[in-house]
A and B are shown apart, each in its own frame.
Chain A
Amino acid sequence: MLKMILIGAVAVPTIAAGSVAATGVVVVDVREARNGQHIVVPVPLALAQVAAAFVPEEKMHMRLPREAQQYMPVAKQVLAALAEAEDGELVRVEEHNEKVSIRKEGDLLKIQVDDNGEHVKVQVPISLALSVLPESGNQFSASQAVWALQHARLTEIVNVQGRDGEQVSVTVY
């Protein structure tokens, strides 16, 4: 009996950890510069999906403006073509104390903004963007967006460094 309890005590957390690892985890990491606080919040994607299931249907969808709906097929086509295209820098804007760069590297669109000592890096897998954009219709599903993060495994999707040294990053494992 004790043996069974022991096996259960090991197996249940192992299976739980395996399931979480298999479905993915979003880790939000916040470092405060002044007081040295470091907050790490891991959110299993499966949990976020379950939570999304309890949100009322009308709250789960964002209605797209008419203009945006019109250009949704264009966005999808452009992203699909971009996925197939060679890597390279697509946009670069340089001004006094300000720099913006958008690069395509493999499946990633890398956006980097340096603005007067603030640095923002965003990495969006093109496959993620494609899976989030609605095929047709005028609604954008938040739960679909959560699930689409599966496409961003092992990617630091956001990294923000403030002027005062504070840092926020969001990574999908």
Chain B
Amino acid sequence: MRVRTLGLAGLSALMLAGTVGTVRAQASGGKAWVHVRVEEANRQSKVSVNLPVSVVEAALQAAPEDILSHGHIHLGKMGKRDLSVSDLRKAWNEMKATGDAEFATVEDEDETVRVARAGNVMLVHVDKPSGKESVRVEIPIEVVDALFSGQGEELNLRAGFAELQKRRGDIVRVKDNDSTVRIWIDEGN
């Protein structure tokens, strides 16, 4: 069994587990399912993980304290740099106020990176010139808002995830030469 493939699927599921909400009153998330697909063509490998949102919520709520502290996560020092959530929050509030815009476009020989807001969605697109490799991340504005609803240096994961479970459709798509990863939420299993 491909440990890497399973690991990738598991990691994707866990990442997404972190982004699924906890507010049970939100009926829209009641029967939602989180899906992860990883396909590797050259190894003829396909991995599918389908989890009811309620199961992910349960995992999130019961997660050990050292992983998740009351639904909040602290960003501390990353290497030699300090990553300040409060600075990110300020920057986000400024960006949000500008409406639809291209926030960043980086073009070099290897790839093009585009960070933009389009309507209610934040887009992160990474493309290789060959056209064979790309990354598409689409996060609703409300999710980012909810993430920054924590105090000080905390990201409010649970609130962010509660918002995310309202979304239906793709969240992440990654494509490279021989593999694809797709993460999405819908009502079916």
Chain A residues close to B by CB (< 8 Å) = 70-71, 73-74, 76-78, 80-82, 84-96, 98, 100
27 contacts between A and B (CB under 8 A): A70-B64, A74-B62, A74-B63, A77-B59, A81-B54, A81-B57, A85-B52, A85-B54, A86-B31, A86-B52, A88-B50, A88-B52, A88-B189, A91-B47, A91-B48, A91-B50, A92-B46, A93-B1, A93-B6, A93-B45, A93-B46, A93-B48, A94-B46, A94-B47, A95-B1, A95-B5, A95-B44
Q: How far, in whole Å, are A98 and B6 apart by their CA atoms in the complex?
A: 13
Q: Could you tell me if B58 and A81 are in contact, using CB atoms closer than 8 angstroms?
A: yes
Interface magnitude class on chain B? 20 to 34
> Is the contact region of chain B dominated by helix, strand, or loop, or is it mixed?
mixed
Q: Could you tell me if B189 and A86 are in contact, using CB atoms closer than 8 angstroms?
A: yes
Q: How far, in whole Å, are A164 and B94 apart by their CA atoms in the complex?
A: 68
* Contact for A76 among B33, B45, B50, B62, CB less than 8 A: B62
CB contact under 8 A between A91 and B31, given known A84-B54, A86-B189? no
B43 contacts partner chain A, Cβ-Cβ < 8 Å:
yes
Q: Could you tell me if A93 and B47 are in contact, using CB atoms closer than 8 angstroms?
A: yes
Q: Could you tell me if B31 and A81 are in contact, using CB atoms closer than 8 angstroms?
A: no
Q: Could you tell me if B62 and A78 are in contact, using CB atoms closer than 8 angstroms?
A: yes
Q: Could you tell me if A92 and B47 are in contact, using CB atoms closer than 8 angstroms?
A: yes
Specify which chain B residues have a CB less than 8 angstroms from the CB of A77 in the assembled complex.
58-59, 61-62
Specify which chain A residues have a CB less than 8 angstroms from the CB of B77 in the assembled complex.
none
